[in-house]
Amino acid sequence: MTDRLRVAVMFGGQSGEHEVSLASARSVMKAMDTEKYEIIPVGITRHGRWIASGDPMEALASDVPEASQPAALLSDPSRPSLVCLEERERGLQATPLAQIDVVFPVLHGPLGEDGTIQGLLELAGLPYVGAGVMASAVAMDKVVFKDVMQAHELPTVDYLMVKRRAWDADPEEIITRIENRFPYPVFTKPANLGSSVGITKCPDRTALTVGLSEAGRYDRKLLVEPAVAEAREIEVSVLGNDEPMASVPGEIIPSREFYSYRAKYEDTGDAASTLHIPAPLSGELTQRVRELALRTYKAVDCAGMARVDFLLSGETGALYVNEMNTIPGFTDISMYPKLWEASGISCRELIDRLIELALERQRDRGRTNGRHRQGVRGETSHRHRGGGTA
């Protein structure tokens, strides 16, 4: 019998989405087939310390995660392993902890979803689930993402980017520039974050001042967008490498004025946001949304998985690409796995396919001249290779 693949599941991290990452990782590890995979949990604290021994999930959920023994990943492709770091008389000593075959990052937001972890995994020569360095970085930065969408003639909401330094130096000038460009209401957002953290809907100048200051807590680049009239939030899950496929679309009816962090994760019971899967759209619009999701995915050369979010104007019927999440949520309420379940792929099969895609991409990298890679354990076994729409 073939040895189980050793899968390192990374979670936590230093972003404002730390708690969401923990919830996603719990769901991923619960759904993984332990007859196929040996799960190696790797927690990253809010301060960036890695924990891989004991119970990393419990350590991160506790009040004193820094008390756990720190770990590190060697960036040497000849030794793709985790090590424990120990203080000794002669200095820090690394003790081998676990060999790794493939990594499943479940790190939402900056320093996890933005290409940084992906770059480390590239150096280590490890296959990993999800987008590569470039696609991760582009999708995380909402300003750069919009520029790429426009270059590919994909519809996006107009925007204005403000640097935090400029806002701090002359708030009055910035507000005047925004008011000359857009009517109220507008949305303010940090350029690099997800889960609706730091987003504010601003109906007037007072709210705009608050919103820009709030966004500035999370990033040096602040995004301002006009509100889409009677906006409907439509989402599509995408799966695959060079030949991706799109799920059925879903629609979110927020419990609040817009799909804020509280509406996503805090409102429960009768007060919770509502998910409509599939979204109540015409056949023609459904097809258009799925096609746009695939075009968006390919425009940034994404791989593995992503969730593409759209805004549909209930007033004009205009459809806009809003953003793309390259490590979408896997919590009990997350749209990414729910949309695939509605498309006929269970969460367990979805994880199998994502790991297959990671291994497939690693083999493809190995064909590139000048790149010396270690052998990749595990062969693809599932019948579906991906292509078109599910």
Q: Is the pLDDT of residue 196 over 90?
A: no
What sign does the CA torsion over 146, 148, 151, 152 have? negative
pLDDT of residue 96: 83
User: Which tokens sit at 94?
Assistant: 């690394």
**pLDDT per position as a tens digit, 116-159:** 999 999 999 999 999 999 999 999 999 999 999 999 999 999 99
13 shares its domain with 113: yes
pLDDT at 261 over 60: no
DSSP-derived pairing of the beta strands 250-253 and 245-246: unpaired
Using 50, 70 and 90 to split pLDDT, how confident is the model at 270? Answer: low
Q: Kindly state whether residue 320 falls inside one of the protein's structural domains.
A: yes
Average pLDDT, the chain: 89
Range of lowest pLDDT (51-65, 95-109, 265-279): 265-279
Q: State whether 306 and 382 are in the same domain.
A: yes
Distance from C-alpha of 238 to C-alpha of 337, rounded to nearest angstrom: 10
Q: Could you tell me if 248 and 375 lie in one domain?
A: yes
What is the tens place of the pLDDT at every residue in 288-330? 999 999 999 999 999 999 999 999 999 999 999 999 999 999 9
- Are residues 236 and 217 part of one domain? no
User: Do residues 173 and 115 both lie within one domain?
Assistant: no
What percentage of the chain reaches a pLDDT higher than 70?
86
Instruction: Supply the pLDDT for residue 203.
Output: 97
Number of independent structural domains in the chain? 3
* Tens of pLDDT, residues 18-68: 999 999 999 999 999 999 999 999 999 999 999 998 899 999 988 676 667
Domain-embedded: residue 135 = no
CATH number at residue 53: 3.40.50.20
Q: How confident is the model at residue 266 (pLDDT cuts 50, 70, 90)?
A: low
Q: Across the strands, what pairs with 92? A: 87
Distance, CA of 224 to CA of 207 (rounded, Å): 13
Tell me whether residue 30 is exposed, middle or buried, using C-beta atoms within 10 angstroms of its C-beta: 0 to 12, 13 to 18, 19 or more: exposed
Q: Which domain holds residue 23?
A: 5-128
Mark whether 216 and 238 lie in a shared domain.
no
| CB contact at 8 A, 177 and 211 | no
pLDDT score, position 254: 77
Between CA 252 and CA 187, with CA 217 as vertex, the angle to 5 degrees is 40
109 in the Ramachandran plot: left (φ > 0), alpha (ψ -120 to 50) or beta?
left
**133 assigned to some structural domain:** no
> d(Cα 356, Cα 349) in Å, to the nearest integer?
10
Residues 292 and 203 in one domain: no
Same-domain status, 245 and 385:
yes
291 in the same domain as 377: yes
Whether the predicted pLDDT of 390 surpasses 80: no
